[in-house]
Amino acid sequence: MKKRKSEILEDGSYFQRGFLVEKSFVNKVGKSSDKKELYLRCSVQDYFIKFCESEINVEDILHLLNTPVSFRIKIKTGAWDICEDDDPNLQSRIGDYIVVYEFK
């Protein structure tokens, strides 16, 4: 997601429009489970929402499923499944994810 410098806020975040979608958890070897996760669907990619780093929680946005939303986000790269207090040696999916600060 390329952004013009004028759209990026002082803290490096910016507003991104998309759809909030729910997907089944898929582990690193490609097996899915009944567990559901939330993603922000943008025009070309779905971004995993890492709630332990976000300033919102699942309950705040679950009512927005499959509707157009605007989130103030940052895109980060790293472990999806490891939060601050977790053992850093745990296995985790790695890649781009988003942190959500607010929604409109």
pLDDT of residue 34: 81
Q: What gap in Å lies between CA 4 and CA 26, rounded to an integer?
A: 33
Beta carbons of 101 and 54 less than 8 angstroms apart: yes
pLDDT of residue 70: 95
Range of the domain at 78: 5-103
Other CB atoms within 10 Å distance of the CB of residue 4: 7
pLDDT of residue 49: 97
SS3 82: coil
Give the containing element (helix H, strand E) for 84.
Answer: none
Q: What gap in Å lies between CA 13 and CA 9, rounded to an integer?
A: 5
> Model-level pTM?
0.85
The tally of domains found in the chain comes to 1
Mean per-residue pLDDT of the chain? 88
Domain containing 21 — which CATH number? 2.40.50
pLDDT of residue 87: 76
Higher pLDDT, 94 or 88: 94
pLDDT per residue over 59-82, tens digit each? 999 999 999 999 999 999 999 988
Q: How confident is the model at residue 43 (pLDDT cuts 50, 70, 90)?
A: confident
Q: How confident is the model at residue 33 (pLDDT cuts 50, 70, 90)?
A: confident
Residue 28 has pLDDT above 70, yes or no: no
Whether the CA torsion 46, 8, 55, 93 is positive or negative: it is positive
